[in-house]
Structure 1
Amino acid sequence: MPPQAAKRTRLSIDDYLAGERDAETRHEYLDGEVYAMSGASRRHALIVTAMTFALTPHARQRRCQLFTNDMKLRLEVAGATIFYYPDLMIARDSEDRASYYLTRPCLVAEVLSPGTERIDRREKLLSYISLPSVQEVLLVAQDQPLLELHRRANGWKVERGDQGSLHLDCLDAELAVEQVYADVDWAQG
């Protein structure tokens, strides 16, 4: 008789959310299965902080809310419930007010890491653009100054910038490449 495959127990959404409230390690949720997230590098953290400082005045002026990597994004993709922790999100929908996650951001940003870049560029990008509220997805390199903006208004065409600035429709504001990388010491690894 062949060995039986171990049956996986799927975690309910309520159990996942309850566990994340008290967890020391964050986990992403993919239709009942959870995956621990690794810590971010110094450069990654500096880039997220710089983007936050650059975009907060624009978000406040437009009565939007800006969230960094501790707020989850809940998605429903092909009948599966998914929770991700994007590096940065902008929310302007006054009805999107769950305590621990967003469902309708207008902008989602990910800082690309060597260990997550493939997932960020494929799985997450495709999930993010499936949300009708998302106008832009910003992918930010951390090994060189390079912003990659996927914009719905262009039929999800990409704009890249390694200098100057990119216009963010979600905030009707410019994001300068120099601002994003202001605190990065390229001599340090």
Structure 2
Amino acid sequence: MGVPQTRTDFSAADYLAWESEQPEKSEFFRGEVFAMGGASRRHVTVSGNVFSALDQAIEGSPCRAYMADMKLRVLEDEAYFYPDVLVTCDPADHRSDLFMSAPTLVVEVLSPSTAAFDRGEKFAAYRRIPSLREFVLIDPEKQSIEIYRRAGHDVWELHDIPPETPLALASLEAEIGWDRLFRNLD
């Protein structure tokens, strides 16, 4: 999450209208608008690696992968986020140009300035999305991966992925190799 804008009384409709006219992306959470900062080379590299691996893994399925410029609406929290990568299998999402609403998988690549929010309030909001089955956090600096899987209606299980172990995504019946996720970080 970035720096709050000066106006904090936006409705979701106000935000969508305002943001469509802005040169930079902003997220919206509980009436506040947050400017998004630029990402590091390592962050962008890992995000790209995840997207390309997922895009290839789900080819031929009803699912599609989207990157950081696609908004995700969390209706239950009146929020709009820009996840680093998301996958949705919902036909209505595939027809939407403005935002996705029914992701199966969300991936956030951590950065020092956003890690606490991504793990905390953002994940709390994501957990309220009924379609979401898995949430992945990737730390490019530590080269670590955590995956949260929905185990019940309000139950999420954390799985730490040991180094060099492929990331198995049960929701998509897909696997991404460790070396593929962290490729080109040198």
What TM-score does the superposition give when structure 2 sets the normalisation length? 0.88
Task: Write the distance in 2 (CA, Å) between the matches of 1:152 and 1:168.
Answer: 12
Match of 1:66 in 2: 65
Aligned mates of 1:126, 1:163 — CA distance in 2:
29
Q: CA deviation at 1:16?
A: 1.7
Return the match for 1:88 from 76, 85, 89: 85
CA distance in 2, matches of 1:152, 1:176: 22
* Displacement of 1:150: 0.3
What residue is the counterpart of 2:106 in the other structure?
Answer: 108
Q: Give yes or no for the alignment of 1:27 onto 2:26.
A: yes
Distance (whole Å) between structure 1 residues aligned to residue 9 and residue 165 of structure 2: 47
Give 3-state SS (helix, strand or coil) of 2:91's partner: coil
Please list the CA deviations of residues 5-48 of structure 1 after superposition, one character each: whole Å capped at 9, or x if unmatched.
Answer: xxx66223233212322322111112322110111000000000
Where in structure 2 are the equivalents of 1:18-167 lying within 5 Å?
18-77=17-76, 80-96=77-93, 97-153=95-151, 155-161=155-161, 162-167=163-168
Partner Cα separation in structure 2 for residue 44 and residue 54 of structure 1: 16
Contact 2:47/2:85, CA 8 A, preserved across alignment: yes
After TM superposition, the score normalised by the length of structure 1 is 0.87
SS of match in other structure, 1:60: coil
Which deviations, in whole Å up to 9, do the C-alpha atoms of 1:47-67 show, x marking residues without a partner?
Answer: 001111111112222121111
Q: Which runs of 5+ in 1 are unaligned?
A: 1-7
Give the aligned residue type for 2:142: Q
Q: How many residue pairs end up in the alignment?
A: 176
Residue pair 2:8, 2:33 contacting (<8 A) in 1 also: no
TM superposition outliers: structure 1 runs of 4+ over 6 Å: none
Query: 1:132-172 CA distances to partner (integer Å, 9 max, x unpaired)?
Result: 10000000011122111101137411111221212112211
Q: Kindly report the root-mean-square deviation, in angstroms, between the aligned alpha carbons of the 2 structures.
A: 1.6
* Distance (whole Å) between structure 1 residues aligned to residue 102 and residue 67 of structure 2: 15
Give, in whole Å, the separation in 1 of the partners of 2:100 and 2:87.
Answer: 10
Q: Paired residue for 2:3?
A: none
